[in-house]
């Protein structure tokens, strides 16, 4: 029967046997797929690679072989390796930018901490310079000490 | 016959190494493994056709990339180089996300230090800053949009050529 041949057997102009290694992964409605793979790897090599693997891994293998073959056809010099190289470069750039941004954050945080310390010291000096009688109950109330009264507090 | 020994490919294929052998400049006899692995994955005939289609000055790089891909396929018969691409895309994605978060944090700090602006930035505003900063501009090679084919042992970063 001529009809029902997989794309590989159609391409190779042969009968498609019932246990054809290619037919589950190279359906007749996508002839381009097998043509790509055949051009780069050859039918025999693809068949050998698929046969070496357990059936549950063959679909993924056929997909990745097709992807790599497509890459190689689009870029006959570098193929997939061109993409890998480009991704390494993107990683280097992103790492460098990240390090720079994290350094900027560290500087900002350091400036903020320094400002906080100075503020605390300024408050502390303010209280040290006040005379005891200037610290009234009303003033202390604002800091949460005692109830409204005319009492004064003495500090040593 | 001249005194030069046949190239690695002609040795493996057991044939006479012609003076204009297409393989000879790239597969010296002292490295038989290099041709063996390329022949195993691609086949000598396919490699020869690929090299003949290229100008001479590009053939060395083409051979290097073929060797690299062949090694990747032998190491990982299911995913080959595609596994490494998937892993690296994931890495780029994560780094860009970290970068976007760091940039959003700087914006928050700068806004908090700006006296005319409110000092408190709530979570919703932070999320908005984060989502507007995070720009996933990685080209999706080979249709990879997820980590479904990620492998944990990628090819080494710095030594792309053997």
Reported ipTM: 0.73
A152 part of a folded domain: no
pLDDT digits (tens, 9 = 90+) for A115-149: 888 888 888 877 777 777 776 655 665 556 555 44
Q: Give the pLDDT confidence score for residue B110 in this predicted structure.
A: 84
For residue B142, give how far its alpha carbon lies from the nearest alpha carbon of chain A (Å): 6
Pick from B64, B84, B113: which is nearest to A84 by CB?
A: B84
| Cα angle, residue B161 at apex, residues B155 and B162 outer, rounded to 5° | 90
Q: Tell whether pTM > 0.90.
A: no
Q: Which chain B residues are closer than 8 Å to A70 by Cβ?
A: 142
Higher pLDDT, B110 or B35: B35
Residue B6 CA to chain centroid, in angstroms? 32
- What pLDDT score does A115 carry? 85
Distance CA(A53)–CA(A41), nearest Å, equals 17
Among A residues 46-65, those touching chain B with beta carbons less than 8 Å apart: 49, 52-53, 57, 60-61, 64-65
Q: Nearest residue on chain B to A37, judged by CA atoms?
A: B42
Can you give the residue range of the structural domain that contains A120?
Answer: 98-147
Kindly state whether residue A19 falls inside one of the protein's structural domains. yes
Residue A100: how many CA atoms within 13 Å on its side-chain side?
Answer: 7
Total domains present in chain A: 2
**Does residue A70 sit in the same domain as residue A103?**
no
Residues A112, A64 share a domain: no
DSSP B134: -
Is A12 a member of any domain? Answer: yes
Residue B106, min C-alpha distance to chain A (Å): 6
């Amino acid at each position: 029967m001529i009809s029902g041949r997989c794309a590989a057997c159609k391409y190779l102009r042969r009968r498609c046997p019932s246990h054809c290694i290619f037919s589950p992964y190279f359906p007749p409605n996508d002839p381009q797929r097998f043509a790509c793979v055949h051009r780069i790897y050859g039918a025999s090599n693809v068949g050998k690679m698929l046969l070496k693997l357990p059936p549950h891994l063959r679909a993924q293998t056929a997909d990745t072989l097709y992807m790599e073959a497509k890459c190689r056809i689009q870029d006959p010099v570098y193929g997939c390796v061109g993409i890998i190289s480009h991704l390494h470069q993107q990683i280097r750039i992103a790492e460098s930018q990240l390090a720079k941004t994290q350094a900027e954050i560290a500087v900002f945080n350091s400036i903020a901490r320094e400002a906080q310390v100075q503020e605390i010291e300024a408050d502390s000096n303010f209280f040290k310079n006040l005379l005891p009688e200037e610290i009234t109950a009303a003033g202390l109330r604002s800091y949460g000490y005692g109830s409204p009264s005319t009492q004064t507090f003495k500090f040593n | 016959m001249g005194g030069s020994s046949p190239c690695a490919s002609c040795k493996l294929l057991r044939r006479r190494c012609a003076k204009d052998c297409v393989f000879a400049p790239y597969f010296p006899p002292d490295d038989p493994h290099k041709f063996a692995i390329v022949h195993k994955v691609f086949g000598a005939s396919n490699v020869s056709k690929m090299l003949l289609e290229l100008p001479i000055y590009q053939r060395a790089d083409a051979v290097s990339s073929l060797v690299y891909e062949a090694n990747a396929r032998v190491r990982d018969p299911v995913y080959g180089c595609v596994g490494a691409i998937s892993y690296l895309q994931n890495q780029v994605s994560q780094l860009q996300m970290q970068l976007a978060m760091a940039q959003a944090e700087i914006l928050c700090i700068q806004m908090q230090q700006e006296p005319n602006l409110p000092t408190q930035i709530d979570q919703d505003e932070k999320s908005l800053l984060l989502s507007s900063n995070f720009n996933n501009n990685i080209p999706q090679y080979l249709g990879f949009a997820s980590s479904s084919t990620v492998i944990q042992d990628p090819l080494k970063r710095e030594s792309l050529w053997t």
